[in-house]
Structure 1
């Protein structure tokens, strides 16, 4: 009988050891929060913002790997994708995995079309200059080098290799 109370008295002084034993569990939770939970929440928030910003003309990839262009935004939950000429499918917005390219606003697209026309005209000028160099025996044309072949292709002629 005397032994029982002696053991009980020795065990009574360990109240602080309970907090110390919980410290590793708290640290593990903090590590999990910052390494797993918080980045996942940020990723979900970014995906939600991306899906809410979808508009007509955006080129997207679904979770199933289907690539299409948004042809119509039906409602808050669905969009219509055109996956081929005349082939339209309805998909749930949350299945949109990624936006490959954004549609540009109408004002900016007019400016880009004008810039594209200028670039195309400059490209034609460069091609005609390359053709003239090829016809006159310019650099690499007589030897059949890479420049001669390239300028022949740009000028619309095919060279036999």
Structure 2
């Protein structure tokens, strides 16, 4: 019985390691992405997965309309949004950067 347990133990340890190093972080990123996609609203400045910058002028459950220039509006799937670049996000990033610089001095 103990030999069987010793034979299965390395396999179980590998499974636990896979969970904590691969599966769990991926689930956290996926939840954060879904939270970000659900919280976008009109006026938000976003970047698509293709690198296109624009501001949201219309959105529904499936699609987002971005204003890229004065005369150009493009329609994307909501899942094509890579990041939201609001002034709030930029200012908090600036504050964190200043804290890091102060800590390094």
Match of 1:82 in 2: 67
Structure 1 unaligned spans of 5+:
1-14, 104-161
Larger radius of gyration: 1
Q: C-alpha displacement at 1:86, in angstroms?
A: 1.6
Structure 2 unaligned spans of 5+:
89-105
What value does the CA root-mean-square deviation take over the aligned residues? 1.4
Bigger strand fraction: 2
- Counterparts of 1:45-84 in structure 2, within 5 Å, are 45-73=31-59, 75-84=60-69
**Runs of at least 4 residues of structure 1 off by over 6 A?**
none
Is residue 93 of structure 1 aligned with residue 69 of structure 2? no
Q: What do residues 44-80 of structure 1 show as CA deviations (whole Å, max 9, x unaligned)?
A: 001001001110000000000001100111x211110
- Separation in structure 2 between the aligned mates of residue 69 and residue 87 of structure 1, nearest angstrom: 11
Match of 2:17 in 1: 31
Match of 1:159 in 2: none
Give me the TM-score of the superposition, normalised by structure 2.
0.79
**Structure 2 SS opposite 1:84:** coil
Give me the TM-score of the superposition, normalised by structure 1.
0.52
